[in-house]
Amino acid sequence: MTEEVPGAVVGRSFWCVERDGGFTSVGVVIALALTLALLFTSAQVYWANSTAGDVQFAADAGALAAENVVAEYYVIARVADAVVLSLSLFGLVVFGIAIVVSCIPYCQGVGTKLMEFGEKVFKARDNCAEQSRDMLIKLQKALPFLAAANASAVIGANSFSSEGEARYQGFALLVPLQGDEVSFADDSAAQDSADELREQNDKTSEATDEAEGARKDMQEAKRRAYEADCGADPNYCMYERAGWLVGLSGGQNPYFSSIDLWKFDYAFDRAQAYYQQRLASEAPTNSSLEEQVRSRMRKEFFSYAVEEMEKGYARTAADGTLDAYFPLLARNNSEIRSTRLYTDRIFPVDSEGFIHGISACPGIEGEIVGFGSLADLEDGLYSSCPTCGLEIGSIGRVASASTSISNGFEYHYRIVAQAAEDYEKASKEQRDSTREAEERAGEAFDTYAEALEALAVPRFDPRPPGRNGCIAIAFDSSSRRVPSIFTSAFVTDDAVLPPRVAISAAALVEDEASEGNSILASFLDRITAQTENKSAWGAALGVFDGVLEVWGDTLLVYSRGADSMAQGLGDFLRSIPLVDATPLASWAQDTLQETIEAFGLQGVDLSAPKPVVVNSIHVIRAGDSQALALVGQAKEAYSSIPGSGSGTLTDGIVDGLLIEVEKQGSELLGDEITLVTISFGDMPGLPQIPVKVRLPPQVLEQGTGLLGSGINQLRSLLGGGRSGLVWE
């Protein structure tokens, strides 16, 4: 057995060559010491970096807050442009409605009133553009201060307390500090069309009224003809007489219960059938000489009537115009003399020189030697038979009896024939006047299209301060002692983290807009609701006060394009019964909508800008500020020296930044400003619509003192202007 050596157990715990290859107690101590030193040092470094990094988060938040003010400016500017554009479009829409109304008979007064209102809309547009321009310029001047104050408030709100107290201050600077000129699109060419449109509308109205007068004459003529043909049944009329006198029925003698179903063509066909049947069925009612002569006269008259009717015609076109010839039959001796009944040699003459009504006349002396006419009788070539008494009145009484009293067919036929002549004349006048009105309205629509094209120009492009981004500077004025948890033999317990500064930057990106969820959605909803409230507008435009509702649809053009305006206009025009009831106005309505739809105005991009954190060096390089250039140089210098760096900030950077911001802070606006007040002039019942903008609450609550306090603290922290302060 081997002898145990005193202390061998202790020695083997540090040295065991046989089993582990061995290590010394000195190596273990060194390894443990290094491990513990690295552990505690790393923990302290992590705490230092984490604590120092908190101010960076505050700087990031401040940068986002500052650039968010710029984003809100874009919203305001786009709202202003939307209102200006909508008023230009609304004015033209009113002009377009005036064109349609001018095509409605006897609405010239309303059309004139609409033109006057359209001009007031354009004046409201000019006033709106001027007010918006002035206010946007004012906002641009205040924007650097508002952004700096908003950033200062947000940076300060990120302060917190734990074992120590983090007291953050800071501000932001917009890049660039100056905005470009504010200028809305020139829509003057559109409103310059008012005078020309008014003149064209006046001419359209005159032609429309003439066409309407002719149309009423057509209606009256048709009414008279319808009543005389069949509308008066069961009283005397052509339908009733044809049925009673010759038993005409069915397709030859149709009845129409409505004037809308009736045409002159049917009356003419009835007359032709009547005389043909009357000729075919004519016969003496008894054997007396007097009746036989009368029957001969009737037969000659009806034969003449059939021949005359064969010359006539009646054709009603699809547009209601009539091309017709209703032969007017002789109705007395004078008119008989102008017909063949007077000149045709159809009456027998005997050897004694007497002319007779029929060949079977008992008064014939000798033989019938020829035939003579009523003209020959009146010229003295023959003598009238003393038995039958043939004279011009024999046949003239047939025509006169049937034409002069209401129980004769010819009496009612003559009314229809005269009405057809009146209707045809009026229909041609109506057609010519309508064509004239269409031509004048067409010229108005050409002018209107040119006015629309004048609006197809680039819209207002906002270029405010901060459009390239902003630089935020945040600092923590507190000194933070290393927490006791890190105190050990390996790490000093008197380490203090000095005050810290961080730089951040933010820029705007466009957030894609969706239908009904854009920067203008709520604003457009409010304005549209106001224009749809008829009770608020009163009766400024009489029965056409609903035209104000169309303004809401012109506002939506900004996001939906011209289709919205055309749809809203169509809805309004369809609400006017006279439009659909008047063919010319209905044509004008369709033409107006087609003109607007062909305009091709595209919806404007309404994506809302939103701020995002970006690398500050990009924003710095985008600006032209000398102070910002120094910030960039300082940043590059510090970032190029790992772990340390030095420089004097107060003289070169901070003072320069603050001077640029402070000189913009003198025009702090109130809690709410009115961007523009929309007014349509002195027309009674039309309210004014203010468009207001509310400033950020944190700026309103703390005002200029917020930024001033931060500026002073920053100067104090950085040495109050002393040039010997070195930052590491």
Q: What is the pLDDT of residues 127-151, one digit of tens each?
A: 888 888 888 888 888 788 888 888 8
Highest mean pLDDT among 577-581, 609-613, 629-633, 703-707: 609-613
> Nearest Cα to 167, choosing from 716, 725, 635?
716
Strand partners, 347: 372
- The secondary structure element, H or E, covering residue 212 is helix 194-226
User: Where in 297-448 does DSSP place strands (E)?
Assistant: 313-316, 322-325, 347-350, 354-355, 368-372, 383-384
670: tokens are 């109130």
Tens of pLDDT along 355-367? 999 999 999 988 8
With both helix axes pointing from N to C terminus, report the angle between 655-662 and 697-717 in degrees, rounded to the nearest 10: 150
With both helix axes pointing from N to C terminus, report the angle between 409-455 and 194-226 in degrees, rounded to the nearest 10: 160
Tens of pLDDT along 450-474? 887 777 666 777 888 888 888 888 8
Strand partners, 168: 476
CA atoms within 13 A on the CB side of 67: 29
- The secondary structure element, H or E, covering residue 140 is helix 108-157
Please, which pLDDT band fits residue 642 given cuts at 50, 70 and 90? very low
Segment 401-422 shows an average pLDDT of: 90
Is the backbone peptide bond immediately before 176 cis, with ω within 30 degrees of 0?
yes
For every residue of 237-289, DSSP letters joined together read: SHHHHHHHHH---GGGS---S-TTT--HHHHHHHHHHHHHHHHHH---SSS-H
152 and 66 Cβ atoms separated by less than 8 Å: no
Secondary structure (H, E, C), 47-114: HHHHHHHHHHHHHHHHHHHHHHHHHHHHHHHHHHHHHHHHHHHHHHHHHHHHHHHHCCCCCHHHHHHH
505 and 472 Cβ atoms separated by less than 8 Å: yes
Segment 297-326 shows an average pLDDT of: 92
Please tell me whether residue 175 adopts helix, strand or coil conformation.
strand
Regarding predicted confidence, which is higher, 531 or 235? 235
Segment 43-54 shows an average pLDDT of: 62
What number of other Cβ atoms are within 10 A of residue 52's Cβ?
Answer: 16
Look at residue 531 in the predicted model and tell me its pLDDT.
52
Report the distance separating Cα 395 and Cα 520, nearest Å: 88
